[in-house]
Amino acid sequence: MAPHCDTMDGPVVTACKKALETGNVNYILPFAPKKAEDELTQAFNKTIKARELGQDAAEVADLWFFETAVRLHREGEGAPYTGLKRAGLDWGPVVPRAEKDIEKGDPTDTIEFLKRIVEEEMRKRFDEAMSTKNYDLNDVDAARKYTEAMLHFVLSSHHIYKYIISTGEH
């Protein structure tokens, strides 16, 4: 999955900005695990106070709050915090499409896109396996090429299936 949750224009920082704009920490709390609620709320409250000290203090406090929220979010995913990434990074064609579908309440564009990509990629893997299947048993290099292609198709199928039916952790 695209790790855009750690970008300056990703959903975590966007929720932080909305929380600060409205004075309501509840915009950001859902992005952190329950056990991090107190830490995130304290960071929010400190940031609100620091923002009263002027523009420079507000910028530093906001950035610290964003970093804290992203760090806690990443910890909740079991992923390391590697810092905030700049806005405007290209996370490929799926994330923006999925976000637009969420906004409009219809997943059709994302589903159709993924169906097309999965079909194209799986057919490539299958065709590679089939094109190398009828090898000479005495040609170990050819047998190895087939085995790798066959396993690529089979294991790709398995991994896609397992991810799709997973519990939804990202």
Quote the CA–CA distance of 94 and 116 in Å, as a whole number: 12
What six digits make up the tokens of 142? Answer: 């050819």
Quote the CA–CA distance of 131 and 152 in Å, as a whole number: 13
Quote the CA–CA distance of 128 and 144 in Å, as a whole number: 13
Residue-wise pLDDT tens digits, 122-136: 999 999 999 999 999
Whole-number pLDDT of residue 89:
85
Task: Provide the 8-state DSSP code for 169.
Answer: -
Whole-number pLDDT of residue 1:
37
Task: Provide the 8-state DSSP code for 165.
Answer: T
The mean predicted confidence, pLDDT, of the chain is 93
Residue ranges of alpha helices (H) inside the chain are 11-22, 37-51, 55-77, 94-104, 108-132, 140-164
Neighbours of 140 (CB within 10 A): 11
Residue-wise pLDDT tens digits, 20-52: 999 999 999 999 999 999 999 999 999 999 999
**Of the ranges 5-14, 49-58, 77-86, which is most confident?**
49-58
Whole-number pLDDT of residue 27:
97
Q: Is the pLDDT of residue 2 over 80?
A: no
Whole-number pLDDT of residue 91:
79
